[in-house]
Structure 1
Amino acid sequence: MGAKAIAKYLGITQRQAYRLCSDSIIPNFHLGGTVAARRSSLTSWMATAEKSA
C-alpha cells in the first residue's frame, strides 16, 4: 500500500498519511522511495488505539 491507499483505508488525506508515517505514528516501511504499510498492521494498530482511548 502506498500513501494514497493508506489514506483511503484510514479515511484521511494523503498529506495526513505522509505526516503520520514521517512521525512514526502509524506502522510503515519504505519500498525504495515509496511509503508502504500492510493492511493487517494498520488494522491491529487501530484496534490497539481504540482499546487505549
Structure 2
Amino acid sequence: MSDQDTDHINSSDLVWGGAAIAKIIERTERVTFDLLEKNQLPAKKVGGRWVASRRKLIAFLTDAAQI
C-alpha cells in the first residue's frame, strides 16, 4: 500500500474482525474467513485480527462484479 493509498483511509473506514467484514460483503462468516485466509480479499491480519478498508472492500467487489 503506497502512502497515497493510506492518505485516503481514516479510522472510521477500517473494519475490524472477520464477522464485521462478512456483514460488509454480505457473506457468511465461514465463507468470509475462507476468503480472508486465501488472501482473496483486500485485508490483512494485524495482531491476530483481520482488518480491511470498507471503501477498498466495496471497490474490490464492485470491480470483480464487472468482469
TM-score, normalised with respect to structure 2: 0.70
Q: How does 1:19-38 map onto structure 2 within 5 Å?
A: 19-38=34-53
**Is the radius of gyration larger for structure 1 or structure 2?**
2
Residue correspondences, number: 52
1:10-49 alignment, distance < 5 Å: 10-49=25-64
Instruction: Provide the alpha-carbon RMSD of the alignment.
Output: 0.9
CA deviation after TM superposition for structure 1 residue 26, in Å: 0.9
* Rounded Cα–Cα distance in structure 2 between residues aligned with 1:38 and 1:48: 15
The answer for unaligned runs of 5 or more in structure 2 is: 1-14
Q: Percent identity?
A: 29
User: In structure 2, the residue corresponding to 1:12 is in which secondary structure?
Assistant: coil
More strand by share: 2
Q: Which runs of 5+ in 1 are unaligned?
A: none
